[in-house]
Amino acid sequence: MSLNSKSELFNIAKIVCRDLRKRQTNAEKTFWQVVRNRKFYNLKFVRQFPLFYDLIGKETFFVADFFCYEKKLIVELDGAIHKYKLKGDEQRTKILNALGLYVIRFRNDEIENDLKGVMKKLRMHFNSSPCPFS
């Protein structure tokens, strides 16, 4: 299947994101409850958000677990599978940084076992000087 048309790519991204929202992990559900509806620093977060980019003349996309447009911040929650995807995650982060976006990662078990600590770490990024996404 060719993805020459941007509308085709957009439709695929929409389907992928909807599917990911339906199958979210417990950690994603927990984090979403804390940040949705501007509950965290009055910032708007969206979940399973497609980020389109073009590296070598072929447009494609990444799906961010959580994205805050106001701060250009992506929050990624990594499950056990990410132990085996470190190189890919690192490359993805470099691409997203090149697009002017900041990526912060937490492990699922951090969310499930120490949510207060995770939110404190996230808050520290907002309060640090200079803040990488202010």
Q: Per-domain residue ranges for the chain? A: 6-127
Contact between 102 and 133 under an 8 Å Cβ cutoff? The reply is yes
Q: Which long-range contacts (CB under 8 A, 24 or more apart) does 89-98 make?
A: 92/62, 95/53, 95/55, 95/62, 96/51, 96/62
Closest by alpha carbon to 66, among 11, 10, 122? Answer: 122
Top pLDDT among 65 and 126 is at 65
Mean pLDDT, residues 37-55: 93
pLDDT at position 128 is 60
Going by the DSSP 8-state scheme, the letter that residue 83 receives in this structure is: G
Q: Distance between CA 82 and CA 99 in Å, rounded? A: 22
Output the pTM of the full model.
0.84
Q: Which residues contact 133 (CB under 8 A, 6 or more apart)?
A: 71, 72, 73, 102, 125
Q: Residue 130: is the preceding peptide bond cis (ω within 30°)?
A: yes
**Per DSSP, what are the bridge partners of residue 76?**
105
Mean pLDDT, residues 56-66: 89
C-alpha 78: how far from chain center: 10
pLDDT at position 129 is 43
Top pLDDT among 79 and 22 is at 22
* Residue 110 scores a pLDDT above 70: yes
pLDDT tens string 96-107: 999 899 999 999
* Residue 56 scores a pLDDT above 90: no
* Residue 132 scores a pLDDT above 70: no
CATH topology classification for 6-127: Endonuclease; Chain A (3.40.960)
Mean pLDDT, residues 97-124: 93
